[in-house]
Amino acid sequence: MRILIFGRVGQLGSALSELLLDAHDLVFLDQPEIDLAKIDTIESHIIKNQPDLVINAAAYTAVDKAESEPDLAQLINASAPSQMAMSCDELHIPFIHFSTDYVFDGRSNHPYTENANVNPEGVYGKTKLAGEQAVAAACRRHVILRTSWLYSHVANNFLKTMLRLAEDKRPLRVVNDQFGSPTFAWDLGSATVAVVDAIESGREDIYGLYHAANSGVTSWCGFAERIFRIHGDIVDLSGIPTSEYPTPAPRPAYSVLSCDRLRDVLDFSMPSWEDALSRCLARL
């Protein structure tokens, strides 16, 4: 298939460029060729490239900065995917989009299913939810994959920050009362390949919303501890409550995603976060 992908240089875009390359004709669009804040340029790019499928791997992902740039976050996370979805629907092209565990307020104590009530508390989560809703309303053949705590060996993320801080050899205090599932961008990429394969095979029963996160649960401190253990870093690490690490944007205290629908409909099971972390660190 000829696949148009918005965003190659981010974590997910990097994974998709590797995982889809052999089997498909890929076209990537990045800045400066396209600025997703300029909504009215999106449709002409889609028409010009004549794709069989469009994937949006781009997003405004600066969770704290979004609190002071709500209009830009809304443009990139909601208005741009809305336009992509409308154009895809008009052109009868399926559309794959990504969202986040931050659409939840974190007050649950059991994994969120796709049907669970959403209630984002920060600007980033609100704009991502607006994007989900606009995509679902505009494009009949859409797939939205919600993921959580995304990291990889490329681009900026929690894993890279921890490895950098470990080099300082100073005591490190990391939040231990937020629980979720760290997700290796390459595993989210593999889940996306399963969606692409299903679309290519002509299945019409796969459209809609899915959760796609590595399985298992930990805290940010537990994630850091495992990173240092596998990587062989000796770090004086201690856990602290969220109240001792205030951030501009609130984070859900619990954002574990149930991925049963992905397994049941697409026959794709997400590996455990511990296994994923080992594979990621092996690529550094």
Q: Does 57 contact ligand NAP by CB under 6 A?
A: yes
Q: Does 16 contact ligand NAP by CB under 6 A?
A: no
CB crowding 106-139: b at 16 or more within 10 Å, else e: beeeebbebeeebebbbbbbbbbbbbbbbbbebb
Mask 115-154, x = binds ligand NAP (CB under 6 A)? Answer: -------------x------------------xxxx----
Q: Residue 112 is encoded by which pair of tokens?
A: 């969120």
Query: With CB under 6 A as the contact rule, which of the stretches 40-48, 59-67, 133-141, 225-233 interacts with ligand NAP?
Result: 59-67
Nearest residue (CB) to ligand NAP, 1 versus 155: 155
Q: How many residues bind ligand NAP (CB under 6 A)?
A: 28
Residue 61's nearest CA partner among 177, 150, 191 is: 150
Give residues 234-263 in contact with ligand NAP (rule: CB under 6 A): none
Q: Which residues pair with 99 in a beta bridge?
A: 146
Nearest residue (CB) to ligand NAP, 35 versus 274: 35
- The span from the CA of 62 to the CA of 249, in Å, is 10
Is the torsion defined by CA of 183, 184, 185, 190 positive or negative? Answer: negative
**Is-catalytic flag, 112?**
no
CB count within 10 Å of CB 151 equals 25
Nearest residue (CB) to ligand NAP, 128 versus 153: 128
Identify the three-state secondary structure at position 135. helix
Nearest residue (CB) to ligand NAP, 160 versus 263: 160
Mask 68-107, x = binds ligand NAP (CB under 6 A)? Answer: --------x---------------------x-xx------
Is the distance from CB of 46 to CB of 2 less than 8 angstroms?
no
Catalytically active residues, by annotation? 124
Residues lying near ligand NAP in the complex (CB under 6 A) are found at: 7, 9-13, 30-31, 34-37, 57-61, 76, 98, 100-101, 128, 147-150, 155, 185
